[in-house]
């Protein structure tokens, strides 16, 4: 794994060198090696914001893949990252000091515009990575991984492996933590025990805050029925986010008869919050499991079919939105919790009834070409929700399931993803199904019933 990471770092340095506008160097500090990337025409100044990006080992490796694929759009802002995956473990374990936890990548924007460019790039390309919180720093708006502070730096010089002096930047002790327009509302991010009460008599005692953006999601106890629940809420003044929560409540109500979707308990709005409480579903996200079984392919298709039978388009199908159920499942269990009926589908805030207007695209690498084209048009236009959009995303899920490659880290464009399917080691019958799902023209995509029939017999032993 380390050798693959080293190869990715070399590819990243090659991407920077090709532009001939970046200087890449290696230094050692805090007991392990760092790689520095400094744009020649925009080196860091003596003060400003520092952005810390928090990732796990696997997360950082995937981020580098995304940076290589999208280097043309990466901001011209200096940054550093560990040279080895062991360095990531050292940082996140606290072995390098508790103040260093989560500080896996560091960016040095020179002004507010560059700060926003870094945040916007990560929000656009890096999703679903939850590294540890950086102690005592502010969470950037729109991001679950970027933390920041502002203050003076101290310039240090190290010699790289070629004996050349390399400038390195470290915050002074009095660098201040700032609360400004870029800070996310994370005042309740800690392990709170807040009591959330609905107008209909429900009381939910928060036990753990899971995330704070784009919605606040917390585990809680329903004090009336003494059972675990999830509570999701957003500020009501954020009209778009509040509408998504209301939409999810409506969609879950329409799907209440299905056992594999969260059961809605209560939805309400007041001047401050728009809130949805659902029954807790314990499990592990499919993107965290190593699964290569046609039975799982078929189960995904069966559950999508049941949703479609009720006239609902999920709108954001990806492996991260499927759970393998069962408390005994672990990340390394091959097939744990995935017997028939042991999957659940989450996150229906983008769901629509067929024919309703889709108001934008969802997860990079999983959206159908027609959704991407509609969002990219000037002015952007909206199109009607259709089952064919889910079929395209289901094809992305099957590819991810069989190869372990997350389509989110593949540069946008259906042709490239289809080429990767073609050269993959997926057996030909399943490969044909995935390619059909990924057809650029929605008319050419198969019906969900056709996919079910093709998967029902099992394709693992077919060459």
| Mean pLDDT value across residues 236-264 | 92
Residue 357 CB contacts under 8 Å (≥ 6 apart), including other chains? 382, 383, 384, 385
Cβ-count burial 71-104 (b if 16+ within 10 Å, e if not): beebbbbbbbbbbbbebbebbbeeebeeebbbbb
Q: Is residue 397 domain-shared with residue 412, that is, in the same domain?
A: yes
Q: Is residue 366 domain-shared with residue 416, that is, in the same domain?
A: yes
Distance CA 405, CA 442 (A): 24
- The reply to whether omega before 211 is within 30° of 0 (cis) is no
Q: Is residue 213 domain-shared with residue 322, that is, in the same domain?
A: no
* Average pLDDT across the chain, whole number: 77
Go through the chain and tell me how many residues it has: 463
Full-model pTM: 0.60
Q: Is residue 158 domain-shared with residue 210, that is, in the same domain?
A: no
Q: Is residue 121 domain-shared with residue 17, that is, in the same domain?
A: yes
Q: Is residue 272 domain-shared with residue 292, that is, in the same domain?
A: no
SS (HEC) of 195-254: EEECCCCCEEEEEEEEECCCCEEEEEEECCCCEEEEEEEEECCCHHHHHHHHHHHHHHHH
256: Cα within 13 Å, side-chain hemisphere: 8
Distance CA 64, CA 8 (A): 7
Q: Per residue in 121-180, pLDDT tens?
A: 887 877 656 577 776 666 666 666 777 665 544 444 444 444 444 444 444 333 333 333
> What pLDDT is stored for residue 353 in this prediction?
95
Q: Is residue 253 domain-shared with residue 300, that is, in the same domain?
A: no
Q: Is residue 141 domain-shared with residue 273, that is, in the same domain?
A: no
Place of tokens 């990219």: 376
Q: Per residue in 274-295, pLDDT tens?
A: 999 999 888 888 887 755 556 7
Consecutive H or E run containing 304: helix 294-309
Q: Is residue 60 domain-shared with residue 98, that is, in the same domain?
A: yes
Task: Let me know if residue 394 belongs to a domain.
Answer: yes
Look up the domain containing 211 and give its range: 195-279
> What pLDDT is stored for residue 37 in this prediction?
86
Q: How many domains does the chain have?
A: 3
Beta bridge partners of 167: 157
Beta bridge partners of 106: 52, 80
> What pLDDT is stored for residue 457 in this prediction?
67
Q: Which of 260-274, 413-427, 449-463 has the highest mean pLDDT?
A: 260-274
Task: Let me know if residue 179 belongs to a domain.
Answer: no
Q: What is the Cα Rg of the chain in Å?
A: 23
Q: What is the DSSP string of 140-203?
A: BTT-SSEEEEEEEEEEEEEE-TTS-EEEEEEE-TTPBP--STTB---TT-SS---EEE-TTS-E
Task: Let me know if residue 251 belongs to a domain.
Answer: yes
Place of tokens 């729109």: 142
Q: Is residue 275 domain-shared with residue 361, that is, in the same domain?
A: no
> What pLDDT is stored for residue 45 in this prediction?
67
Distance CA 423, CA 194 (A): 52
- The reply to whether omega before 313 is within 30° of 0 (cis) is no
Q: Is residue 201 domain-shared with residue 311, that is, in the same domain?
A: no
């Amino acid at each position: 794994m380390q050798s693959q990471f080293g190869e990715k770092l070399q590819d990243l340095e090659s991407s920077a060198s090709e532009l001939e506008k970046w200087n890449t160097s290696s230094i050692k500090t805090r007991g392990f090696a760092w790689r520095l990337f400094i744009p020649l025409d925009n080196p860091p100044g003596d003060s400003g914001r520092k952005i810390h990006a928090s990732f796990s080992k696997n997360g950082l490796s995937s981020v580098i893949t995304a940076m290589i694929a999208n280097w043309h759009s990466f901001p011209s802002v200096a940054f550093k990252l560990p040279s080895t995956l062991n360095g990531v473990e050292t940082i996140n374990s606290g072995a390098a000091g508790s103040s260093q936890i989560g500080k896996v990548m560091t960016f040095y924007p020179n002004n507010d515009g560059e700060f926003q460019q870094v945040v916007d790039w990560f929000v656009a390309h890096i999703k679903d990575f939850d590294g540890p919180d950086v102690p005592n720093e502010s969470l950037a708006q729109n991001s679950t991984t970027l933390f920041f502070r502002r203050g003076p730096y101290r310039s240090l010089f190290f010699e790289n492996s070629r004996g050349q002096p390399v400038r390195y930047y470290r915050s002074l002790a009095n660098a201040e933590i700032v609360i400004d327009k870029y800070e996310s509302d994370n005042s309740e991010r800690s392990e709170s025990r807040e009591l959330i009460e609905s107008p209909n008599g429900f009381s939910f005692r928060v036990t753990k805050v899971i995330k704070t953006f784009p919605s606040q999601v917390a585990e809680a106890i329903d004090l009336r029925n003494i059972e675990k629940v999830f509570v999701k809420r957003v500020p009501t003044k954020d009209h778009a986010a509040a509408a998504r929560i209301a939409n999810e409540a409506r969609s879950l109500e329409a799907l209440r008869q299905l056992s594999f979707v969260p059961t809605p308990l209560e939805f309400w709005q007041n001047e401050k919050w728009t809130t949805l409480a659902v029954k807790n579903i314990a499990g592990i996200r499919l993107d965290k499991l190593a699964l290569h079984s046609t039975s799982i392919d078929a189960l995904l298709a069966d559950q999508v079919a049941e949703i479609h039978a009720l006239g609902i388009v999920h709108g954001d199908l990806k492996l991260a939105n499927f759970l393998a159920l069962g408390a005994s499942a672990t990340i390394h269990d091959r097939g744990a919790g995935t017997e028939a009926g042991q999957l659940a589908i989450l996150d229906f805030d983008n769901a629509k009834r067929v024919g309703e207007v889709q108001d934008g695209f969802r997860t990079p690498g999983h959206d159908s070409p027609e959704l991407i084209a509609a969002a990219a048009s000037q002015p952007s236009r909206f199109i009607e929700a259709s089952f064919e959009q889910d079929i395209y995303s289901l094809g992305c899920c099957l590819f991810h399931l069989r190869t372990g490659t997350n389509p989110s880290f593949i540069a946008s464009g259906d042709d490239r993803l289809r080429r990767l399917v073609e050269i993959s080691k997926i057996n030909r019958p399943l490969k044909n199904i995935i390619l059909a799902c990924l057809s650029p023209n929605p008319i050419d995509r198969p019906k969900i019933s056709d996919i079910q029939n093709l998967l029902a017999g099992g394709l693992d032993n077919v060459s």
